[in-house]
Amino acid sequence: MFNYTNQLTENLEYIEIAPASELPNGERLFVDLGDRPIVLFNIAGQIFAIGDICSHDDGPLGDGMIEDHNVVCPRHGGEFDVRTGQAMQMPAVVDIPAYPVQIRDETIFVGIPKA
Ligand code: FES
């Protein structure tokens, strides 16, 4: 169960990330929330947050190209849907975490599971 975007709000803690102006369309932002490396993408004005480690062999997903709503792992070409974390293309078969994003007062927040 890695797709936290489906979790009830009461099970999540929303962490302030940055002003929305720091993540313009087409850009990406890297953050570490505790032991969770996360990359945020702004795709056509919508912001998505996923784990920054490929489930296949720990590739740096945040360095990958975006194709539609998929990020392409730069190591072996596995693909993941940034909206859900779902593995979409071999050799990746295991989903990665996807986190819900909220914009409040022009500030980005990411929801992670409560400890
Ligand atoms: S490490 Fe990402 S596809 Fe192999």
The superfamily in CATH containing domain 4-113 is: Rieske [2Fe-2S] iron-sulphur domain (2.102.10.10)
pTM surpassing 0.85? yes
Residue 56 near ligand 1, beta carbon < 6 Å: yes
Residue 76 near ligand 1, beta carbon < 6 Å: yes
Q: What is the pLDDT of residues 68-107, one digit of tens each?
A: 999 999 999 999 999 999 999 999 999 999 999 999 999 9
pLDDT of 1 over the 60 cut: no
| Domain extents in the chain | 4-113
Residue 54 near ligand 1, beta carbon < 6 Å: yes
Mean pLDDT of 25-40: 96
Measured distance CA(17)–CA(5) in Å, rounded? 17
Q: Cα(56) to centroid of ligand 1, in Å?
A: 5
pLDDT reported for residue 29: 98
Q: How many helices (H) and strands (E) does the chain have?
A: 0, 11
Q: Which residue in 25, 83, 34, 37 sits closest to 62, CA to CA?
A: 37
Chain centroid to CA 105: 21
